[in-house]
Amino acid sequence: MHELTIAKNIVEIVEEEVEKIGNVIKVKEIYFKAGALNAVIPESLIFSFDIVKSESKILREAVLKFEEIPIKIKCNNCDYEGILKVPEFFCPECGSTKLDVLYGKEMYVERIIVEEEKDGDKNSQESFGSK
């Protein structure tokens, strides 16, 4: 269950980003993307995140939004570029297995939405994570 480890890493990344912003009251939403080759099970990740976030005062109300990035390949045989359907791992044009994976291996916090306090007023702010 690598989703628990991923959830812990998300919490660490977001807490570091929140520290940079300063004056954050709470994190409202976290947008997380992972390539299909990472085999992340969305339900397991969200469940794990909900457990891990309870240890952080600033993240207790945060909602994790997950998006899977499809596998995009380039065939070294015929130069086809396109989305690969899992678990096929051959070019849909020519059948070659000589492929480069262009997308589908990445995993990152895309952005976070926080509520911060400035001069006694509460404001929402969008902050971008790291790839």
Q: Which residues pair with 114 in a beta bridge?
A: 27, 125
CATH number at residue 55: 3.30.2320.50
CB atoms within 10 A of CB 28: 16
Query: 35 near 68, Cβ under 8 Å?
Result: yes
pTM of the model: 0.83
Residue 80 within any structural domain of the chain: no
Q: What amino acid is encoded at 86 in this protein? A: V
In degrees and rounded to multiples of 5, residue 66 shows phi and psi of -110, 135
Domains held by the chain: number: 1
Q: Which helix (H) or strand (E) holds 74?
A: strand 71-75
d(Cα 117, Cα 98) in Å, to the nearest integer?
Answer: 53
List, for residues 90-105, the tens digit of each pLDDT value: 999 999 999 999 999 9
Residue 33 within any structural domain of the chain: yes
List, for residues 15-38, the tens digit of each pLDDT value: 999 998 888 999 999 999 999 999
Q: Range of 41's domain?
A: 2-71+105-128
Residue 32 within any structural domain of the chain: yes
Residue 56 within any structural domain of the chain: yes
